[in-house]
Amino acid sequence: MGLLRMESGFMQTEYALLIHDNALAILNSHDLNDVLEQTVLRACRLFAAKHGFLYTVETSEELELKIGIGAFDTFIGHKLKAGQGIPGRVWQTGQPLLGEGYVDETMRTMLNGVLTVIAVPLKANQHIIGVLGLAFATKVEDEQNLFWLSRFAELVSIAIDNARLYSATFEMTEDITRWVQEKKAFEKMLQDKNTEIQGALEKVKQTQSQLIQQEKMAGIGYLAAGVAHEINNPLGFSQSNFATLQKYFRSMSELMLVYQRLCSKVQAEIPTLQEEAMQIAALAKQKKIAYILKDIGPLFDETNDGLNRVGNIVKALRMFSRVDQENDFAEYDLNEGVRNSLIFARNELKYIAEVRENLSELPAVRARGGQINQVLLNIILNAAHAVKDKGTEGKGVITISTYADSHFVYCAVMDNGTGIPEEARKNIFDPFFTTKPVGQGTGLGLSISYDIIVNKHQGEISFITELGKGTTFIIKLPFDTSKGAS
C-alpha cells in the first residue's frame, strides 16, 4: 500500500484485513528466527520501506538488533540501552515514535539517506519484548503509518511470543511424558492466543467503524439535500419580497418627485396649488400608495423572519458539526442539541411524523457537544424510519422529552413506529448489525452512539420497545462526562 494516506472507510477496512492476513501468515510458523524475519520483511512490504529493523529485549538493560533489512543488515548484533536512540526511547516509554534522522549515533554515517524513522513496541503479557521499526528516504508527517504499524505489531507480538514459548518448550523437554504434557498445555495456549487475535481484530473493526462514521458526519452527506432545501425556502420568499419592496420604492420615488415640484410651485405660484394637488392625488391612487403603505410593514416582518430562519439554520449547522472541537469537553446544553438536531432532521420528518417537544429546564453538562448531537440526530432519524416503515395513514408521532435528577440529565425519544423484533434486541448495539434491507443501512449508527454515550461520556443508552407499537430510546448523561472518559 505504500506510505499511507487513507481516503475512505473502504480502503481502511481493506488495509486492516491485509494487516490481519499477514499477521496470520506469520502465526503459522513456530520457528522464532523465521517469525522475526517474516515480521520485518512483511512490514517493509506493507509500508513500502527499503530499510527495517527488529530489536529484542535480551536483558533488563539491553536491546539487541536481531533482524535488519537494507542498511540495517550490517548492524546485526548491535546493542542499545533504554533511552538510547529511537529504539531505546520506544523501549523506555512503551510508546510508538515517529522521528527524523538516524536510528542511533553509531549508525549516522551508514544511514545518512534516511529522513524518517517510525518505531513501535512489541508487547506480550503487558511486557515489552522488542521494538519493530522502519526507515524511509522521504519525510513522513502522516501518523497513520504509525497507527497501522502499531496495529500490525499488536498482532505479530502474539506470533513472536508464541514462537519464543514454542522454542523454550522444546529446549526444556527431557522426556516424552513431560513433552506430551507441555505440548497439550501449549496447544491450549495457542487457542487462547488465537482468541486474543480475534479480539484484536474486533478492535480493528470498531476503529474502522468509528473512522467511517466520522467521515460520514464530517460531510453531513446524508442530510445535505434536506439542509439545502430548508435554506432555499426562506431565501426564496425573502428575495421575492425584496423585489416587491424595490418596485414599491420606485413608485414612492416617483410620487416624491411630484411632491418636490409641488413644494417649489407653492412658493412661486399659489394659484396652481389646487391643480398640482389633484395631480398628486391621482398619481397616489394610480400607484396604490395607500395599499403600499399598508402592505410594506408585513413585508418587512416576513422578510426579517425569513432571514432569521436562514441565520438559525446556519448557526445550527455550525453548532451541530463542530468538527474542530469534537474531542474537547465543554459546557453543553442538551435542549439546544435537541433543537439543532431537529432543524437538520426537519426535511426528513415533516411528511412522516409530528414532533412533540417536552423539554424541561436543564443544567449544562460537560460533554463533547458535536458527538452528542450525532447521537441525537441518529436516534431521531431512526425513529422517523420506524414510523415510515409502519406504513399507517397520516403522520406518526415522535415525542422528545428531557429531564434531570440530582446527578444526571436525560433525553427520551419515543416513536409509535414498528418496534424492534425480539430476535434483534440483544444485538441492537453491535457494530454492523442492522435490520434494514441490504443497501439501506450500514449497521454503524447505534454502535457508534453506544460508544459515544457509554465509553466516551460514562453515560447510559437503553431502550423500551413493543412490537407494532413503538420504541423509546433513553440517553442518560452525568453532569460532568469528562471524568473517566476515554
Question: CB of 134 within 8 A of CB of 46?
Answer: no
pLDDT of residue 324: 42
Beta bridge partners of 116: 100, 136
Over the stretch 364-404, which tens digit does the pLDDT of each residue have?
A: 999 888 889 889 988 999 899 899 988 888 889 999 999 99
60 class by beta-carbon count within 10 Å (0-12 exposed, 13-18 middle, 19+ buried)? exposed
Is residue 292's pLDDT more than 80? no
Highest average pLDDT, of 199-203, 345-349, 363-367, comes from 363-367
The residue type at 147? F
Look up residue 424 and give its three cell numbers.
434483534
Same domain, 109 and 183: yes
Over the stretch 433-456, which tens digit does the pLDDT of each residue have?
A: 566 554 444 445 788 888 889 988
In this structure, the strands spanning 396-404 and 353-359 are parallel
Residue, of 266 and 84, whose pLDDT is higher = 84
Same domain, 51 and 72: yes
Beta bridge partners of 197: none
Same domain, 30 and 160: yes
pTM recorded for the entire structure = 0.44
Q: Among 355, 87, 233, which Cα is nearest to 78's? A: 87
**Neighbouring residues of 143: CB distance < 8 A, sequence distance ≥ 6:** 98
396-401, long-range: CB within 8 Å, 24+ apart, which pairs? 396/352, 396/353, 396/354, 397/353, 397/354, 397/356, 398/349, 398/353, 398/354, 398/355, 398/356, 399/355, 399/356, 399/358, 400/338, 400/342, 400/355, 400/356, 400/357, 400/358, 400/359, 401/358, 401/359, 401/360
Q: Does residue 43 fall inside a structural domain?
A: yes
Same domain, 397 and 449: yes
Domain final position from 291, 320, 349: 320
Look up residue 286 and give its three cell numbers.
394610480
pLDDT of residue 253: 64
How far CA 478 is from CA of 321, 359, 367, 458, 481, in Å, comes to 22, 18, 9, 7, 5
Least confident of 216-230, 266-280, 335-349, 466-480: 216-230
Q: How many residues does the chain have?
A: 486
Residue tagged 425569513 (cell numbers): 306
How far CA 206 is from CA of 203, 237, 376, 438, in Å, comes to 5, 46, 20, 21
Q: Does residue 483 fall inside a structural domain?
A: no
Domain hosting residue 385, numbered range: 323-478
Task: Fill in the DSSP letter of residue 135.
Answer: E
Number of domains, the chain: 3
Same domain, 146 and 171: yes
Same domain, 305 and 332: no
Domain final position from 200, 219, 238: 219
In angstroms, the CA 424 to CA 332 distance is: 33
Q: Does residue 205 fall inside a structural domain?
A: yes
